[in-house]
Amino acid sequence: MKQKLLCIIFFTFLYQIGSAQLADSLSKKVDSIFAEYDKTNSPGCALAILKDGKIIYERAYGMSNLEYNIAINPTSIFHIASISKQFTAAAIIRLSLEGKLSLNDDIRKYIPEVPDFGHPITFNNLIHHTSGIRDQWDLQGLAGWREGDLITEKDILDMLAHQKALNFLPGDEYLYCNSGFTLAGIAVKKITGVSLRDYADSVFFKPLGMMSTHFHSDHSEITPNRTSAYYKDENGKWKISIPVFDNYGATSLFTTVEDLAKWDENFYTKKIGGDEFIKAMLFTGELNDKTSQNYASGLVIGSYKGYKTEGHGGADAGYRSNLIRFPDEHFSVIVFANLANINTSSLSNKVADVFLKDKSIPNPVIKIDSNILKGWAGDYFDMNTQSTMKFDFKNEKLLVGSTELVPLNNSIFNNRSTTYTFIGDAATTKLEVKSKGSKNQAYKKINKVNLSTFELQEYQGEFYSSELEVKYNITAKDSVLKIKIPRYDEIEVSPFTKDIFTDGFVLRFIRNKKNIVEGFYLTTGRVRNLYFSKSSIK
């Protein structure tokens, strides 16, 4: 009878304060979600489920270290990657409330190494991903840095100091940017005279009793009870995959699920910072054109199955992490993992599904014209962001990547918080993409071109970027254009449209008055229009 009563209580979200255990039926449902990783020959996860300020269930699944046969436990320490960002933002906000900086200050006041791009970049821009600064990881990959290279804070600052342009004017757009949070961490030291690590330890971690938490500023530092991390290679073998970072702010927080639970509860108790601090942490702001954002200070404000959510995920090397909070239910799920091929966000949502009844409104059944949908399939290009999109029509569904879009009618489709509106006909289609918190994007449907080896030869040559201080060699062979980035194997790129090539990034070649190729602009997901000039032009 008691067990049955507990089940009823949990399913109606009325948890008993101080309850430390779940009914067997619930714990079995939760454990089944992680069964794939609950093994002695696999990395795995640590889980904490929080309700009304208490950890109502915590478990560990799989191994912390495969070489020494050490299992994960709820006190195992993980590198939690981008969940770190909210702590960096918290430091900046705390300093602003103390009057030691203004969120509207130009960051060059404290970090003069950042180039003068002709437009002030503020702390608000940094912590809301609206700075326009190019992303550090994309830049370093393009410069020939490998994942296993030691990357220091100075390396990142030096690279950013060489940049001559922004992706966009500060405040004009939202584009996720790790560089902004590295710079915010540097600013904390410039303003306080102590490192972000020491500042966060004294202001946040120790007062909250987060004794197993720190910003990891030295990759060689020994941290007892830390997990190793792994990925599976193409042969199905586990390989070690641990970040080699001597930089932090955007990443590098080491913590446990139990410690992060204490931080999560502070959003309710407001023990550290008070009401004004918490309000500032959850403030999303808006773009220059008044578009409302859904990204606060290292936290995504969203929704899941009819519930408001606050949270963030993280991914570095073989580590994956996710925190999702349902503030109106005083309920959170934390999942840390030490294997790359895992989706901690999906796992967190599945755990939440065990406890929270779906309140979302079902999509109405729409009668669609398959011929119209089929016409929308194809390749699209946005000149402003230099980005491509590809839509496929399969099994009477329109897909972007592997994701099926939900039709609202024959021309408008949804995918979570993004709406795709097709305009025109199959031959002259324009596409408007609206994502919550972001500036609208305008795409045009294009017809991809095919070029012979002879036609590709005009794109050959040596190209140099002064911003990366690196040379690329481009060659044409067997109807394929190949790019050699230092320290990487050659990359094949495919012609997309006139003078534009793609393969995970976009190359847009430019010509002089004689119609001869003189350089190209390179765009990735988080770097736009990085210029390479041709070394010699005939």
What structural domains does the chain harbor? 81-309 (3.40.710.10), 370-446 (2.40.128), 453-534 (2.40.128.50)
Q: What pLDDT, on the 0 to 100 scale, is given for residue 16?
A: 31
Mean of all residue pLDDT scores within the chain:
94
Whether the predicted pLDDT of 234 surpasses 60? yes
Whether the predicted pLDDT of 43 surpasses 90? yes
Dihedral sign of CA atoms 354, 65, 248, 253 in order: positive
203: helix, coil or strand? helix
* Residues 424-447 pLDDT 10s: 987 789 999 999 889 999 999 999
Distance CA 133, CA 113 (A): 13
Kindly state the tokens that stand for 284: 């999303």
Q: What pLDDT, on the 0 to 100 scale, is given for residue 417?
A: 85
Whether the predicted pLDDT of 28 surpasses 60? yes
Q: Find the helix packing angle between 2-11 and 24-33, rounded to 10°.
A: 50
Q: What pLDDT, on the 0 to 100 scale, is given for residue 114?
A: 98
* Residues 276-305 pLDDT 10s: 999 999 999 899 999 999 999 999 999 999
Q: What pLDDT, on the 0 to 100 scale, is given for residue 17?
A: 30
Q: Cβ neighbours of residue 481 under 8 Å, at least 6 residues apart?
A: 456, 459, 474, 475, 492, 493, 494, 495, 501
Q: What pLDDT, on the 0 to 100 scale, is given for residue 20?
A: 52
Backbone angles phi, psi at 336, to 5 degrees: -115, 140
The DSSP secondary-structure symbol of 241 reads -
Instruction: Using a pLDDT cut of 70, give the percent of the chain over it.
Output: 96
